[in-house]
Structure 1
Amino acid sequence: MKTPFTDADAEILETNGSRLVRVRPRQGSDHRAWFTANAEALRSAMYEHAAVMVKDSGLVQQAELAEIAEEIGGRTLDYNERSTPRSRVTGKVYTSTEYPADQSIPQHNESAYSENWPHNLFFFCALAARSGGETPVADSAAVLGKLPADLVRRFEEKGVLYTRTYRTGMGLSWQEGFQSDDKGYVESYCADHDIQTDWDGDVLRTRQRREAVLVHPVTGQKVWFNQAHLFHVNALPEAVREGLLEICGEDGLPRNAYYGDGTRITADEIDTVLGVYDETVLAETWGTGDLLMIDNILTSHGRRPFTGDRKVLVAMTQREVA
């Protein structure tokens, strides 16, 4: 590609409708000065191509990740209203989802179930796995275009209803999910963010309706943006699903997803969504020191299984919206 970047070489990787710009700063560049000089070009590349990977970024100190993320993407966010386990490393830098190495994490737009989802994600590979462990991306507009029109219409009209049951020992507790042990705070947070609550002793059930399709506020692109396929009970392995249903019942599942009017999303519909994601993904091999930047609306991300040790950190940012 004709590179818009200073002191770097760049190329576009493209497959199945998804794109990623691979950028290599030239040897000898001061990495902090390079990111400052190229901040606008990196932002523009995310809008145009959704994902950018800077190879051999020069980052070493974990705190630098948040500083560079803020310079390019806006204010960094805390990881609140959690759906997966994650540890704070420093400030507003976190480990990526802590999940068994032999399992995949499906494609998803970060925190699409929340009103407070991040606009951009910055993943830093502090240690690449011996094999595997890629963070695949999938273009959200391409996914929307490949889905059956009647399915998109139903989701667009009804939205998605996310249901969760927080209990100790099965998924995240409400204390972990909301990062507080104060029920009053949780009630106030949920009221402010249009989340219905129902307490049964120390067990909390929540319901929240969110959109399934969005229009990007900067590019104007219409995209598939939800986590219905990730929350839905049929996304679980059959044995796990049957065990949870027997123990908890459908109303007590750690999480599930319905159409926004409460009607069921069928297993076939979930399989269709998962199949389109599989058709659309693009994955670049991680190297220690690489930095992957994505627009969270324009592209989803996941994680492939891996062997050996792997350490990927994340900072999440939100732009100022006029």
Structure 2
Amino acid sequence: MNRSIHHFQDVHAHAASVAHWSQLVYSQLASGALESSLQQLSSERCHAFRERINKRVVQQGEAPRDSVCFAVPISMPGTVRMQGRDADGSSLYFLRGGEEFMCHMPTGMDLLSIAFDRAFFDATLREVPFADDIARLLRQPVIKVPQQRFVECRQRLLAIFSEALVNDEMSGTPARQDELEHALLGELLRLVMDPACDRHQRSGSSTQDFIVEKCHRMAMAETMSAPSVMELCERLQVSRRTVQNSFRAVADTTPLSYLRSVRLNGVRRALMSSRAGDLTVGDAAGQWGFFHLSHFAAEYQELFGELPSQTPRAARWHDA
């Protein structure tokens, strides 16, 4: 079993270090120096990781194929928006392999995510009561579960994960790894098997989340000529007030600040993934629609706590 513990001062280096999630893109939305930690366990049929980030971030990407993915909030000092659904610190999050996702995380997030091999998960699910009901329930990305039962499950999952992270005996042999995989999956399945869990719950995505996601994707796609807020309103055929209220509800910020942060994160990824001789700061900024370099440098420093010229340049990222 592979085990690792890393600390970072950059959300992009953090995201790039999450094993098996090659499509992850994190963007820092809250200003200031970022600090994060990433603890990981990987076995043949399971990958578990706990991540803590001290700034508000938006996560997007694609869940690993041939997997099913659960996430359990350890601490969420604020509202989470997962796949357009309102979630909280006592909700279970779920993604199918290959599914695209977007998740808005509050400042100070602490999340335990566990991905299982799909064949292993399906075989285990067939052996439990209410298998068909549970399979239907897991079509939802956010699952409301009984709060006390969730707290107990979270404590056990965290104890299993933490012990396996430091104890060689818990993961040193194939038999112990098999035991660990079944223990983690068993806890999650027992949670959704609980008689108090509504296995027929349904929740749709909100219009506000739809608006924010569409604006986010347009900003990512049209980097050199980033659309203005008014242009976004015209394309979506909604009022400026609707757009403003949507960003405030979903990301606790303004449309202008959010979209500027997304573009600044794009510049930072470009700088960190290239050598200084191959891409200048000015060219990287221009690729994301920043053409007034003094204003750009000030905005970059405000968000990340450093000037773009101070950002590490290399073909590969290192943890801090």
Larger relative contact order (CA 8 Å, sep ≥ 6):
1
Q: Same fold (TM over 0.5)?
A: no
Under a length normalisation based on structure 2, what TM-score does the superposition of the two structures give? Answer: 0.25
Flag the structure with higher strand content. 1
Q: TM-score w.r.t. structure 1 length?
A: 0.25
Choose 1 or 2 for highest CA Rg: 2
Q: Which has the higher helix share?
A: 2
